Structure 1
């Protein structure tokens, strides 16, 4: 059973590090960048998917899915699946997230592109087509569902009574509200015809194997991409409470449907999930552990705080700064030199601005760096990198940003004040002005936030 597995490469991150990590004292930025590259490489689909593929079935094998890593996952399946076994399907990914196809690797799975984080018509059309593809499957058929972060927006199919414009407005409001990912996806599941286990129901009676890359705190498959093929324990009442908590408006007819429980999702006791399996093929903790191993190999102590950190990005940055400053000034809670690692999914609440004020740019990694830099107060011997492992911080073209002991001074020399940047949620503008954005391009995976603080 020949395969093309060895021909797949990691072009998106190959330039980020040499075979040997840069010296952390002579090149702190390069060292931090090498840790990010190690974390990203640990989550590449080719390396993680092969141990979880089932054997080909008697019937058809259909591959479906959605997420920022969708195209890379599809290529990995094509490379690892026996060439003489039938394979077809459709996977949707974010615009610009299709890796270069290795020479000699035949394309058997169609890739569609759509918008993220706010859905568009292309994502809705792809979702409709996926539902059509799974119609009429038999018990001898196999569905491989490839799920990764971003799938909620990419696989958008509004519930009856909702338009695409309604979904776009609700999604944008959720993103700007400060709601965490579990809350956002609870709402998304109940306002969809494909999420929250509904896609699994549409696949019956075929066997469904879901292969997922986690980008959520706790690695709950029901939250990743709003769990299209796994049961949903949340309720319409939960979704209503979240909408009320964050003051998010929905059409009255849809509100009434939620109140009557008419938009309920398939629950864990639903027989449609009998015999179906879910495999987590990559997680944030695994990537943090890989980076921690690289730190130890460089002769440094390492402290992994958690892969489940949530909260306002700027506040999480301030907590990391407090730990780093205490380590430098008091030798506690850690001895230096060391590296502090963390992951999770923080949030950014967009601040209202006076009329005429230019809109800020940036994502949660950049906002973390703003909060960190402000709280570090130019502390000597502390360097940091925060970046999204998918290579895109929010909707910008950067993965994240660096913080150095002279960040504040360099920014002020070009007329940038960190407090002003925080007020306007303008991390991109702030770090771009001093050349401290990290730009990698899409990495073809997604295990959420990566943060590394180096204390010398």
Structure 2
């Protein structure tokens, strides 16, 4: 049992830890494993949790003759004995990710109906397991990913593009494994827990495979590679429908509920605002500031002491500005701090549950009523820093980054706003 006699800052960190702990593959994988087949067991997977999930499978099935390969982000690998772990780049794919996708497709080929393919899928799998569609090079796929990340489009739109340009996503991995039985264990990092959106759905049928993508093609602009443009605008070859055994083992909502349980035990009223809050990061920060101020001043939507909990994934639109160092959570927080303008008592944490906010080395940060005062005392201009997308640098300078290292799980972003 945690010590519940906490400062506001410590409380927020404990809530974040509870959310992350709830999605630990070591605690969740074994409860969802299928019965063993008469034939072979092949384990494949992709995502920031793939290696930790693979190790959990090995521990749950110590005497099972199994093999396989999974791909995870650099620095997220863990020791395994029977399942090979490959590390690759995220969020922009690299050659290791392409090699891993090839090895995964080879691992599931030539199987029979008595064999089992256990697919371990988690957030980040879209970039990590990259197999460009025929006619598209890896370099062109990488350029598309860069354009998507800078575009500010919702993650659902990003994944729609990624599926169209892939030889493995949108159910194509499951088709490659046929006629073997495919069982997927998934850790959700997406709003709404749509299996098609988690790592772009390599083991689920894509009913949206023929959607008109001309609008996003226009939004990505003239830097979109010609081959990618042609693939996105052309009528795709239909993918046959198939049944999927898909098991969600951890979700953002479960993480929020774990944090709410801890808050309640500490005598603080938890209010879950939702697990799927999306939007531009700085705008979402302004909205959250308004909700927090209402709670502090008027007791609506909840009276203090309370904590507002939310999940989801915001986006950052870069535009023509040369960005500094930042992530969506630190950008959200800096915008919120500016909107609160020193409002008494309100403390907020926003972190990515995988331990990495964007491409930096921190999970996120914490804001306090004196965040802006301390930043200005350090010679920083918070508003100019927000415009330059350099929020990481501000929080690093004033010592308010949250650094956990890779958590080996990923249930999207976690936000907690403490109201005294």
TM-score range, shorter chain: over 0.9
Q: 8 Å contact 1:170–1:248 — kept in the other structure?
A: no
After TM superposition, list the pairs within 5 Å mapping 1:232-381 onto structure 2.
Answer: 232-247=206-221, 249-262=223-236, 264=237, 266=239, 270=241, 273-274=242-243, 276-353=244-321, 359-381=323-345
Q: Which residue of 1 aligns with 2:387?
A: 423
Q: For structure 1, which segment, 248-257 or 121-130, has the greater mean C-alpha deviation from structure 2 after superposition?
A: 248-257
Q: 8 Å contact 1:38–1:290 — kept in the other structure?
A: yes
Distance 1:257 1:297 in 2: 53
Distance 1:260 1:328 in 2: 53
Q: Secondary structure at the match of 2:192?
A: coil
Q: 8 Å contact 1:187–1:243 — kept in the other structure?
A: no
Distance 1:435 1:283 in 2: 30
Distance 1:448 1:265 in 2: 31
Distance 1:165 1:253 in 2: 11
> 2:2 pairs with 20, 25, 36, which one?
20
Distance 1:397 1:97 in 2: 13
Q: 8 Å contact 2:143–2:225 — kept in the other structure?
A: no
After TM superposition, list the pairs within 5 Å mapping 1:55-454 onto structure 2.
Answer: 55-81=35-61, 83-99=62-78, 101=79, 107-247=81-221, 249-262=223-236, 264=237, 266=239, 270=241, 273-274=242-243, 276-353=244-321, 359-454=323-418
- Residues 1:205 and 1:339: Cα distance change in structure 2 (over 3 Å): same
Question: What is the deviation of 1:301?
Answer: 0.8
Distance 2:375 2:40 in 1: 58
Q: Alpha-carbon deviations, 1:36-68, whole Å to 9, x = none?
A: 000000001121111210111111000001000
Q: For structure 1, which segment, 281-290 or 47-56, has the greater mean C-alpha deviation from structure 2 after superposition?
A: 47-56
Distance 2:3 2:207 in 1: 44
Question: What is the deviation of 1:334?
Answer: 1.8
* Residue 47 (str. 1) matches residue 27 (str. 2): yes
Question: What is the deviation of 1:164?
Answer: 1.0
Q: Which residue of 2 aligns with 1:14?
A: none
Distance 2:156 2:234 in 1: 22
Return 5+ residue gaps in structure 1 as ranges.
1-18
Q: 8 Å contact 1:186–1:238 — kept in the other structure?
A: no
Distance 2:296 2:16 in 1: 23
- Residues 1:198 and 1:401: Cα distance change in structure 2 (over 3 Å): same
The number of residue pairs the alignment matches comes to: 420
- Residues 1:340 and 1:248: Cα distance change in structure 2 (over 3 Å): farther
Distance 1:32 1:70 in 2: 27
Distance 2:288 2:119 in 1: 37
- Residues 1:242 and 1:351: Cα distance change in structure 2 (over 3 Å): closer
Question: What is the deviation of 1:225?
Answer: 0.3
Question: Alignment RMSD, CA only?
Answer: 1.4
Q: For structure 1, which segment, 159-168 or 429-438, has the greater mean C-alpha deviation from structure 2 after superposition?
A: 159-168
Q: 8 Å contact 1:400–1:439 — kept in the other structure?
A: yes
Q: For structure 1, which segment, 288-297 or 51-60, has the greater mean C-alpha deviation from structure 2 after superposition?
A: 51-60
Q: Secondary structure at the match of 1:419?
A: helix
Distance 1:326 1:376 in 2: 11
Q: Secondary structure at the match of 2:28?
A: helix
Return 5+ residue gaps in structure 2 as ranges.
none
Distance 1:350 1:257 in 2: 26
TM-score by length of 2: 0.97
- Residues 1:316 and 1:248: Cα distance change in structure 2 (over 3 Å): farther
Question: What is the deviation of 1:139?
Answer: 0.6
Distance 2:410 2:271 in 1: 22
Question: What is the deviation of 1:20?
Answer: 1.9
Distance 1:85 1:134 in 2: 18
Q: Secondary structure at the match of 1:305?
A: strand
